[in-house]
Chain A
Amino acid sequence: ETGVTQTPRHLVMGMTNKKSLKCEQHLGHNAMYWYKQSAKKPLELMFVYNFKEQTENNSVPSRFSPECPNSSHLFLHLHTLQPEDSALYLCASSQDGGLAATYNEQFFGPGTRLTVL
């Protein structure tokens, strides 16, 4: 595997289900991100992790729970979601520290298309 991978690519869940999205980066980066992309809306940054520590939470509802066990893996645990949470969820990674970090080039995975019924 190369780059940033995300599983599953598609997910359909009911409002009472619990599911998890997984992201893995194979780039040796140490910062990881979750974004939400809804139709007709700009990309929304949800969470940022640097060296496994959460450094940003953009007022995301608690029904979204991130987990970063190491610098290569990032999870988004989902429970009691609402239909308006249906969207494409994108994971990204970048290098924190050093010259490359100064412009924060992010590498994106293919996304998980989530549908909440």
Chain B
Amino acid sequence: AQSVTQLGSHVSVSEGALVLLRCNYSSSVPPYLFWYVQYPNQGLQLLLKYTSAATLVKGINGFEAEFKKSETSFHLTKPSAHMSDAAEYFCAVSGHNSGGSNYKLTFGKGTLLTVNP
């Protein structure tokens, strides 16, 4: 069984400040982890993914996330927030098997990021 917990349903930062969105996961198999972003009235867009290669993953728009197995965490960061980063962010976890068949993506409840001028 898999689950994702996103701490904080709403995070507010000032423009230029550090962005930190928290995600903790639970998985019975080695996880694959994703961050998606959703802008208003749009679908989900993949920001970055961890697929058991490097533990520090760089994504689009200056975001990155670090996989920490000991803490079961995959927090999303960006050094300097921009107004255009205002959106909802979803963390998701997927298991895998050697047979290669799809496992479900399990999503967190999302964190709404607002950026103040």
Interface residues of A (CB under 8 A from B): 4, 6, 31, 41-43, 45, 48, 50, 56, 90, 92, 94, 96-99, 101-111, 113
The answer to whether the Cβ of B94 comes within 8 Å of any Cβ in the partner chain is: yes
Q: How far is the CA of A56 from the CA of B105 in the complex (A)?
A: 13
A-B contacts, CB under 8 A, total: 64
What are the interface flags for B29-53 relative to A under an 8 Å C-beta threshold, 1 for contact and 0 otherwise? 0001010100001111110010100
The SS class assigned to the B binding surface is loop
- Tell me how far the C-beta of B84 lies from the nearest C-beta in chain A, rounded to whole angstroms: 18
Q: Is the CB of A105 within 8 A of B43?
A: no
Is there an interface contact between B42 and A103, defined as CB atoms closer than 8 Å? no
B104 touches A45 (CB 8 A): yes
* Chain B residue with Cβ nearest A31: B102
Tell me the B residues contacting A by CB distance below 8 Å. 32, 34, 36, 41-46, 49, 51, 90, 94, 96-97, 100-105, 107-110
> Per a CB cutoff under 8 Å, which of A42, A45, A90 touches B44?
A90
The answer for the CA separation of A98 and B101 in the assembled complex, in Å, is 8
